[in-house]
Amino acid sequence: MNIAISNRSAGIWLQDNSAINSVGSPLSPNWFSHYTLVQEQPVFIGDVPMTSAQAVNSYHYGYTGPEGRYRFTHFSCPGGAYGLYHAANWAYGRLLVRDCQFWNGGNELTGAEGSVAALHNSLFVRSGLGAFADASSTLTLSNNLVRNTEVMLVNQDSANRWRIHNSAFDHCAVSSLFTPLTNSHYAYINCEGRLSPPISTMWCWAVSPTPAARWGTFITANLI
């Protein structure tokens, strides 16, 4: 399934107590793409700036946010726009991302009070990761590859349960502030900065035989 997004505030709008279940397959993933990345003519379509266009708008009016499940789903958007926007009134109640790809733009993962988000086995290329939370939330990142972008995690609430494990950062600017993260088994490849607290790890790379994890499967071990 391929969905092209124009310059409007929502391609799909998830409201209170709603849910989205976007599950493709390794050979036939679902795609959410901004139309400017696939069109042949420079035609403006829509009524908002390009950077305000969202493939899936999770804005909700009540306290209970929507649920989102994405697997074998790819997002591509212009620079300055967002693949995922999970914060404040746009926060999902529960968000599960697995075996997905994100190209360009950024991803806001701040969440909201009581929200739960988990991103596993996914690829982020020139697609930043940011979280700036001052309320209690749960965020888990594991077995991801993040390339050529910025990662900034600002955890201002000591009750937050943020866990970063088994991931690789390749040519990234990486930083975290305030409450230390629970983290282990990850690699930095030509990066600036480190997550806090810093941990040294070693990676062995094994290329995956399936497109489900094109960027590889990792085996990790601590360095002494």
Q: Distance between alpha carbon 34 and the CA centroid of its chain, in Å?
A: 17
Within 13 Å, how many C-alpha atoms sit on residue 114's CB side? Answer: 7
Across the chain, mean pLDDT equals 84
Label residue 23 by pLDDT band (50, 70, 90): very high
Q: Where are the domains of the chain?
A: 2-222
User: β-pairing, 123-125 with 145-147?
Assistant: parallel
Q: Residue 122 is encoded by which pair of tokens?
A: 């996914």
Outline where the chain has alpha helix (H). Answer: none
pLDDT score recorded for residue 216: 44
pLDDT for the residue numbered 200: 55
pTM as predicted: 0.85
User: What is the per-residue pLDDT across 144-190, written as a single tens digit (0 to 9) for each?
Assistant: 999 999 999 998 877 778 899 999 999 999 999 888 888 888 889 99
